[in-house]
Amino acid sequence: MNVAIVDTGAGNIGALQAALQRLGAEGRLVTEAAALADAERVLLPGVGAAGAAMATLRANGLTEALRRLEVPLLGICLGMQLLFERSREGEVETLGLLPGTVAPLPPAPALRLPHTGWSRLHRRGDDPLLEGVADGAWAYFVHGYAAPVGADCVAEAEHGERFAAAVRRGRIAGTQFHPERSGLAGARILQSFLKGWDR
Amino acid sequence: MPARRIMPCLDVRGGRVVKGVRFRAHVDCGAIEDLARRYRDEGADELVFYDIGASPAGRSVDLDWVGRVARVLDIPFCVAGGIDSVAKARAVLRAGADKVSVNTPALMRPDLIDELADAFGVQCVVVGIDSTREADGEWRLRSHTGDAERMRAPGRRMLDWLLEVQARGAGEVVLNCIDSDGVRRGYDLAQLAAARALCRVPLIASGGAGTIAHFVDAFARADVDGALAAGAFHDGSVRIPVLKRSLGLHGVEVRDAA
């Protein structure tokens, strides 16, 4: 299968490639729009700041290519945040594939930020993205911003407040946690993505 | 609040895992990937690799083993050792590490922390702090601790540096308490509690773990987010599945070992 990994210029792309290899797939790094044309699956990973990542995508003509994509797309961490309309991080317009605005996790006494570590996933409904993932399964997070629990949210987590841990609407999906670093639960989610969704 | 993290630390020198006592007298503990696999299977939450030869020798980490570790692990890992530029950090992250940890290079050039946070986000940037209690009762920094012959005392107070690294963009702090390191009489709870009071980002305890009770104390009394240990895990005197069950019974929430 032709799996493209969009290179946003930062982050642990090697970790994601290794996770795909463990599932028998090869992730190919993509830096320009033309290289997405024959992709059967597209991963949008990313760490760092929303503004810098969007600038990189725009400079390489990838924003329009991602909007026009007709195959399953999985955004991870910052990559999931970019699927929404806006990010409060630098007040930037993002891809707009899902409705909503990404905002900082609100500070509170004794609440450590960024949210770093293993937190439980609380499933909402029975989405195929989470096939084989138990309610309450642990996933690994590292982030300071998050998307609200909206209509497309299929699993939520909590750090000071509840936020969207996983989303899916048709072929567009995202995880705020790192499936490539979330043990067996993460591997199952990547497997679901490789398999694709028929609803 | 996420689960409290149990973090085996693997000191790497010459492609092997080694362990020292008070940063000296290193003995061989095994091959890097074998230990990485073992800790993954036992339920470690994160691994930390310190290329302890890197900073004192003025060189950066060898990326080859970082890639091999990335292929083995499905839990996060952090790499430290001689990372003194955005370019070197990028290479380590590209090889598959999730975070980079900087210690001596950040002390030599504090702007490095800001540069790494700008390039990769604060969540990628761990600052390691080596500190010891001096005769006047103050905790002060040590640098170049990978090699006892080259260790230096920059003279700065640990608590001042802790505030500065957070302001500059550290997303996590590992506090290595040199006085308790390797002697297994417990973490330096007084120092950790003092750091905790000033630390808004995740704080990881390091140095001194020898028994399960030491971990319980670090979480319950110093409120740290993670506890790092090496020797006690390497020689099997603390087994992670047993440790996690025990922490659970003491009301410390940990991730169930799979």
**Segment B164-209, tens digit of pLDDT:** 999 999 999 999 999 888 789 999 999 999 999 999 999 999 999 9
Higher-scoring residue by pLDDT: B255, B21: B255
A118 touches chain B (CB under 8 A): yes
DSSP string, chain A: --EEEE--SSS-HHHHHHHHHHTT--EEEE-SGGGGTT-SEEEE---S-HHHHHHHHHHTTHHHHHHH--S-EEEETHHHHTTSSEETTTTEE---SSS-EEEEPPP-TT--SSEEEEEE-EE-S--GGGTTPPTT-EEEEEESEE----TTEEEEEEESEEEEEEEEETTEEEESS-GGGSHHHHHHHHHHHHH----
Residue B257 covered by a domain: no
Query: What whole-number distance in Å separates Cα of residue B11 and Cα of residue B147?
Result: 12
Distance (Å, whole) CA A134 – CA A121: 8
Burial class (CB in 10 A: 0-12, 13-18, 19+), B180: buried
Find the closest chain B residue to A29 by CA distance: B94
| Average pLDDT, integer, range A10-35 | 89
In the prediction, which pLDDT does B52 show? 75
What does pLDDT average to over chain B? Answer: 90
Element (H, E) at B139: strand B139-142
Residue A168: pLDDT over 60: yes
Size (chain A), residues: 199
Q: Is the pLDDT of residue A154 over 90?
A: yes
Cβ-in-10-Å burial (0-12, 13-18, 19+) of A67 comes to exposed
Give me the phi and psi of A156, to 5 degrees please. -115, 160
Q: Which residue has the higher pLDDT, B217 or B50?
A: B217
B187 located within any domain: yes
Query: Where residue B53 falls among pLDDT bands split at 50, 70, 90?
Result: low
Residue pLDDT, tens place only, B198-252:
999 999 999 999 999 999 999 999 999 999 998 899 889 999 999 999 999 999 9
Residue A15 has what pLDDT? 86
How confident is the model over A73-102, as a mean pLDDT? 96
Q: How far is B89 from chain A (nearest CA, A)?
A: 10
User: Which amino acid belongs to residue A5?
Assistant: I
pLDDT of the residue at B231: 87
**What's the pLDDT at B64?**
81
How many degrees, rounded to 5, is the angle at CA B20 between CA B15 and CA B23? 110
Q: What is the rounded distance in angstroms from the CA atom of residue A163 to the CA atom of residue A145?
A: 9
| Pairwise CB contact (< 8 Å): B5 & A117 | yes
The per-residue pLDDT for B118 is 87
Averaged pLDDT for residues A65-69: 96
* List of domains in chain A: 2-195 (3.40.50.880)
Strand B125-133, strand B172-177: pairing: parallel
DSSP 8-state code for residue B95: T
**What pLDDT does residue A11 have?**
65
Total tally of structural domains belonging to chain B: 1
**According to the model, what pLDDT value does residue B21 have?**
56
Sorted by sequence, the CB contacts under 8 Å of residue A47 that are 6+ apart come out as A10, A11, A12, A77, A78, A142, B120, B121, B123, B124
Residue in B74, B97, B122 closest to A144 by CB: B122
Give residue B244's domain range.
5-250
Q: What is the CATH number of the domain that holds B181?
A: 3.20.20.70
In a domain, B255, yes or no: no
**Residue B144: pLDDT over 90:** no
CA nearest to B71 within chain A: A18
Residue B62: pLDDT band by 50, 70, 90 thresholds?
low
Token digits of residue B114:
């800001």
- The ipTM estimated for the assembled molecules is 0.91
For residue A114, is the peptide bond before it cis, meaning its omega torsion is within 30 degrees of 0?
yes
A62 within 8 A of A37, measured Cβ to Cβ: no
- Mark which residues 58-77 of A lie under 8 Å from B by CB: none
**pLDDT tens readout for residues B89-123:** 988 888 889 999 999 999 999 999 999 998 888 88
Average pLDDT over residues A143-156: 96
How high is the pLDDT of residue B59? 56
Query: For residue B162, is it within any domain?
Result: yes
Confidence of residue A140 (pLDDT cuts 50, 70, 90): very high
User: Which helix (H) or strand (E) is B42 found in, with range?
Assistant: helix B32-42
As a whole-number percent, the residues of chain A with pLDDT over 90 amount to 87
What average pLDDT score do residues A151-179 get?
97
Determine the Cα–Cα distance for residues A14 and B69; give it in Å rounded to an integer.
Answer: 11
When mean pLDDT is compared across A75-89, B40-54, B99-113, the lowest value belongs to B40-54
| In a domain? residue B258 | no
Structural domain contains residue B256: no
Tell me which residue in A22, A112, A118 faces B200 most closely, judged by beta carbons. A112
Q: A47 or B160: whose pLDDT is higher?
A: B160
By CB atoms closer than 10 A (0-12, 13-18, 19+), residue B157 is: middle
- Please give the span between the terminal C-alpha atoms of chain A, in angstroms, as a whole number: 20
Residue type, A89: E
The whole-number pLDDT of residue B142 equals 92
Q: What DSSP character marks residue B65? A: H
In a domain, B171, yes or no: yes
pLDDT band for position B16 (cuts 50, 70, 90): confident
Q: In this predicted structure, what is the pLDDT of residue B20?
A: 62
Of A15, A18, A143, the CB nearest to B123: A143
Number of A to B CB contacts under 8 A, please give it. 118
